[in-house]
Amino acid sequence: MFDSIAVVGATGAVGTIIRQLLEDRKFPYGKIKFLASARSAGKPIEFGGETHTVEEMTPESFEGVQLAIASTPDDTARDFVPAAVEKGCIVVDESGYWRMDPKVPLVIPEVNPHAIDKHQGIISSPNCSTTQMVVAMKPLHDAGRIRRVVVSSYQATSGAGLVGSRDLIGGTKAALAGEQYDYECFAYPIAFNCIPQIGGPKHKGYTSEEMKMVWETRKIFEDESIQVCPTCVRVPVSNCHSESILVETEKKITVEEARELFAATPGIIVVDDLEKKLYPMPNTCDQRDEVFVGRIREDISAENGLAFWCVSDNLRKGAATNAVQIAELLQAKA
């Protein structure tokens, strides 16, 4: 058991769920502290039947802390994580800053738990859109070796943080009332609209969010030959990302075999009956920790292709739950 742990970014959307998960999953610890920016310092937090006070995060905050689970912006992670590691703290980091560092393992416990053994004080949790896709890819890759993926993501506004959620609610209310709304987060109205850009231009017309799915998938599977063609779209959904995924495998996998592989994989739930109109949707997968798969069908344009639909709560499995699962892996080895 870790004698002392910390939740960094404890008052944010993901940090709040991390706190809930630590309680619900009865994560063992000796002492716990909650760290955030100066803006949130001093706020009371109820945890474990006690009232805790949020502390401002400084380098000194990690004295004696053995494990930190952190959800912060990239620049914050860049600055504080090395200081925490220097003080002997293992950091499970949700930011994007350390993911592609060759010395930092990028871990999804259902996919590559072995990678955790390579850590040098930092373990990174993948991008939310990558996480659900790779969890779904794992059983197919093991069975037939995936060579190519074409994925279109339909990403909820919660993925843009609390300000994204405010824009969806405020913009929708204004649109229904025929009023103007000044968007804080999105360059265009998100109410009754789809925005086919998440992140800035990154590589050959692909955005930073799309390239994360390319680079992170290859790193997690330790296979640079996997080809990924992503398109990421922000949609007017409050929570849960959806993905349309097409994979091409070396060995043919039938629809029946794929359904069995998905169903046998921990962390995946199959909801797939087109005649009965049963398939995963954001409003049925919200506040769940699993990855949901449906609309499983043969690609009628390619011999070894499979298409399916995938939905997951981006704040939970896409972020908080995955980080806590990594912490549980560390705990098992402590």
Q: Which residues are catalytic?
A: 128, 241
What size, in residues, is the chain?
A: 334
Start-to-end CA span in the chain (Å): 6
Helix (H) or strand (E) holding 151: strand 146-155
Q: Are 304 and 2 in contact (CB under 8 A)?
A: no
CA dihedral 161, 167, 173, 179 (to 10 degrees): 170
Single-letter amino acid, residue 195: I
3-class DSSP state for residue 53? Answer: strand
**How many CB atoms within 10 Å of residue 170?**
17
Determine the Cα–Cα distance for residues 307 and 284; give it in Å rounded to an integer. Answer: 21
Residue 221 · residue 108 · CB < 8 Å: no
E strand or H helix at 242, and its extent? strand 241-249
Q: Which residue has the tokens 């449906």?
A: 294
CA distances to 140, 225, 242, 253, 254 from 260, rounded to whole Å, are 10, 26, 21, 11, 10
Token duo for residue 280: 């995963």
Which residues does 79 contact at the CB level (< 8 Å), separation at least 6? none
Token couple for 30: 């000796």
Beta carbons of 55 and 41 less than 8 angstroms apart: yes
The helix (run of H) or strand (run of E) holding residue 32 is strand 29-36
